[in-house]
Structure 1
């Protein structure tokens, strides 16, 4: 921010607040910025008038909220200012500017659409944010705020906006005769907040100390295995001459082909560094997907990357082996096969609203139940889906035959889910851009939630809720969280957000296991490196080098402890499954370089030997 911007900001606040605040709380006179800009309009106070005005207030009464007439101002009177809900910043500025007065917030709130009735989620979350900002100003900044008043008690006529918006805690039907006042969700929320005198810590949100069971699958997920498709000396049958004297390059000899050796997966050297990274994180499992865009770069079969396709045949061979294992060896060796579900949690925006709860359940069935119910439940699509689509006259959802249902139902050994965030849903249509007409649902977020750079909300308790919902719907099946992660600022040296995210979400998984009895068998963080998932990785990637971020070390500590050890928690009782070797990563990732250096050393020794031999032979000839 430049000095000019600071002066403009100060001028804006002088015109809005200082007009009255400076004479009363400072020196009895108008701000200098107003006097210099409006010298012909502002009166001059005498010294006796200044003394009479100064100090004529027992507290600073503040009204803060949307300036509904803001757009009516002349542009030059706005001083480039924009509306902002940052109440905490304003309270701190008032405290410093006007000699630490007691502040009473006498009017504060927001507004919703005039069509919104009693479930005013948008207003409720703005109210929550404002009161949280006030609490932070008191506790963290030392501002002396002595009271808070929400605006307003009931819906009314809002100046030039008329009845097109609503700002009340109580709903009023303006077309009815009796005008009965009905409490909105915001009123119930505010009532509960007053009873609690703020936001007391909830027991369910406190960190839990404890460990996961022995054999818990700690893993990392990635989009796909990175494969270097450059032909190696083993997979390239061509013969080359090294043009040492001129171009210094290899020149292919036309018409001459060497004996081709059968290629193997280990020929792809790019796999080795990734395995070394997995060892460094201390995880026992790795989940990845096939990169079909790399196999079919044009999106069809006109151009097929045969080198990569061969590599993925190795993976397919592994998958076929698992299918064979499933058919012939499952009973004896207990193999496991399943399907991974995308399962972000859907929370009712208004917990007091039955309609919001119904909307949330509908979205969960469409998002998760669509695939989960046939496999883990009844063998058919969710009843909620069929009823809703029939209501919408959409009959595209197929019906399974009895034989198909028998084949589909129970075709799993565990339940795998990917979870990243939580979304709020409301049945009231407030924002057309985020309204889903197909499901009649308004998507929104709690503006007090922490967000990533890409605006993904960090809501750890959502993971615990979705695990419990899965258990309620599909029984006590073994569960694996196969992907869970967040993006962070790629330019930040410390990826603090990811560190907080991983610790908080793993702790919620621990609560689900310890407190709720969820049969949780494993957790996979997303993702391994920024190379395949930019901004999501535990490792930065640049110029064929992987650099661990602080979040990787934090996750490794959780893995090593098999959870969260406390002062009263016993140490890890599970047997060690690996030996820590800090040098291994170096040698694994630089094996080719070390071989080359060894060759240079060997060549140097041979050269010295030859020089010594011929120099000695030359001396003999001379004699």
Structure 2
């Protein structure tokens, strides 16, 4: 084992298991998550649509025939089925649209305090704009929210989880000049219809991931091949749209609804390959280019993109003969407008990376060549069926501490954390993953004084895993996708979580041995 990683493990594990606090503090919240396209199904369900006049009253509607609209993942799976590992789709998925009460019961049986789910933009607004509002879509999410609250489970709602209405994509998508207008209007519809009961909002999920739809002709929609340009433009647009949704809530809804708003950012934890200054600096660059890219404009005191990122992209752009940096500039107005637009830090963590300095070997400009680093996995790590996901629970503490130190100990909610396998009912590795990630989370709380609000397991049920289809499973409950009834079966991890939540203490039989 490399010296830096041994040091990380020593710091993470502490001196002995007996000295480790494995009890959850009062008020710590447990939740589980899904995303609309991955579980709902009912992809083309018809319904009643409403045209609001005026919008803010949400009362004066003209009835018409409508239903859920097509979004970019609908278009992808139907026109390019070879993009999906098993040539499946989310057309039916777990059928949560019809089985939401069963899923709420699963959440209650485990004892979860909240449920993080996303709203399908195209199910609410079939065309993406407010010219048509689907009443059946509004009713579905109202029913889900009410069912959750009736079972003492708080809804945590994500506005956008990768499923842009196709109509908006046709008008320019995430980089279109009007995207911020459309997203603010969409947010207004959500606040108006659900904000009396929803007190936790996330604007976007993992923008650092879905920007890849603008880096190649691959299998992430909309499959625009513009690396080092398109991804930066999307990020720029998303940060502005996020801030607009936040400022809208401040102006018109917060005083009455008294909710909290953030964005769910995803990051792996970078560890230096060696003790060299070059690798240590490369690791910090990796963290700033990945997580800081979105976090720094929102959470830092100065706002804007990280300085190292601006400098590197500007220098590379100049060397490429460009007239301006491929990384757009905000200007003073937008720097001030975006800064501070979050009430907590939404953080998705799955795995860690070993980082080293390397000269760019890429022929094309990209955000990876702009970093000038190499990230890899330690060959000693256990890797899940998802090749990017390794068993590295020490990274949970490392990442939480990094965020806390860089962003003034903003309260953090782990909004996703999970393990991939092929669907085993006796999923002991998933149980081990969760228990030990939570152990390092508690180390961050008790030893590093990090403020952590709670933890979200991905996912409450098996679901459609994007380009991997149903070949990879993350659920605490197994779903038989060959059965039209989509039966749910608890896995070992669900039973472990239920006991953990009931006792508010980590089970010792799943804890890794600590280093004495």
TM-score (norm 1): 0.48
Shift of 1:334: 4.6
Q: Which runs of 5+ in 1 are unaligned?
A: 1-127, 129-185, 237-258, 567-623
- 3-state SS in 2 of match to 1:424: strand
Tell me, in whole angstroms, the C-alpha distance in 2 between the residues paired with 1:550 and 1:417. Answer: 26
Q: Aligned-pair RMSD on alpha carbons?
A: 4.3
Written as runs of structure 1 = structure 2, the 5 A alignment for 1:222-237 is 222-224=34-36, 226-227=39-40, 229=42
Shift of 1:448: 0.8
- 3-state SS in 1 of match to 2:355: strand
Aligned to 1:358, which of 281, 303, 324? Answer: 281
Per-residue CA deviations over 1:117-166 (Å, capped at 9, x if unaligned) read xxxxxxxxxxx4xxxxxxxxxxxxxxxxxxxxxxxxxxxxxxxxxxxxxx
Shift of 1:217: 1.9
Aligned to 2:106: 277
Shift of 1:228: 5.8
Q: 1:202 to 1:327 in 2, by over 3 A?
A: closer
Aligned to 1:468, which of 394, 401, 422? Answer: 401
Per-residue CA deviations over 1:105-127 (Å, capped at 9, x if unaligned) read xxxxxxxxxxxxxxxxxxxxxxx
Q: 1:309 to 1:461 in 2, by over 3 A?
A: same
Q: Note if contact 1:326-1:335 (Cα within 8 Å) is conserved in structure 2.
A: no
Q: Note if contact 2:47-2:136 (Cα within 8 Å) is conserved in structure 1.
A: no
Corresponding position: 1:288 with 2:117: yes
Aligned to 1:349, which of 269, 273, 279? Answer: 273
Tell me, in whole angstroms, the C-alpha distance in 2 between the residues paired with 1:499 and 1:294. Answer: 34
- 3-state SS in 1 of match to 2:342: coil
Corresponding position: 1:370 with 2:293: yes
Corresponding position: 1:558 with 2:430: no
Tell me, in whole angstroms, the C-alpha distance in 1 between the residues paired with 2:268 and 2:418. Answer: 12
Tell me, in whole angstroms, the C-alpha distance in 1 between the residues paired with 2:497 and 2:361. Answer: 39
Q: Note if contact 1:222-1:288 (Cα within 8 Å) is conserved in structure 2.
A: yes
Tell me, in whole angstroms, the C-alpha distance in 1 between the residues paired with 2:296 and 2:138. Answer: 36
Aligned to 2:344: 414
Shift of 1:230: 9.6
Shift of 1:292: 5.9
Shift of 1:307: 8.2
How many residues align? The count is: 345
Shift of 1:526: 0.5
Q: 1:430 to 1:460 in 2, by over 3 A?
A: farther
Aligned to 1:397, which of 307, 317, 327? Answer: 327
- 3-state SS in 1 of match to 2:475: coil
From the CA coordinates, give the structure whose radius of gyration is larger: 1
Shift of 1:344: 1.4
Aligned to 1:216, which of 8, 28, 44? Answer: 28
Aligned to 2:411, which of 478, 490, 509? Answer: 478
Shift of 1:561: 2.1
Q: 1:390 to 1:462 in 2, by over 3 A?
A: same
Per-residue CA deviations over 1:456-485 (Å, capped at 9, x if unaligned) read 211001011111111111102111000000
Q: Which runs of 5+ in 2 are unaligned?
A: 50-62, 68-95, 143-156, 158-186, 196-245, 319-324, 509-516
Shift of 1:453: 1.9
Written as runs of structure 1 = structure 2, the 5 A alignment for 1:162-311 is 203-204=13-14, 207=17, 208-224=20-36, 226-227=39-40, 229=42, 269-291=98-120
Aligned to 1:387: 311
Q: Note if contact 2:21-2:446 (Cα within 8 Å) is conserved in structure 1.
A: no
Q: Note if contact 2:97-2:140 (Cα within 8 Å) is conserved in structure 1.
A: no
Aligned to 2:447: 515
Tell me, in whole angstroms, the C-alpha distance in 2 between the residues paired with 1:526 and 1:381. Answer: 29
Tell me, in whole angstroms, the C-alpha distance in 1 between the residues paired with 2:43 and 2:346. Answer: 35
Q: 1:443 to 1:312 in 2, by over 3 A?
A: farther
Q: 1:468 to 1:276 in 2, by over 3 A?
A: same
Aligned to 2:377: 445
Q: Decide which moves more: 464-473 or 527-536.
A: 527-536
- 3-state SS in 1 of match to 2:115: strand
Corresponding position: 1:536 with 2:458: no
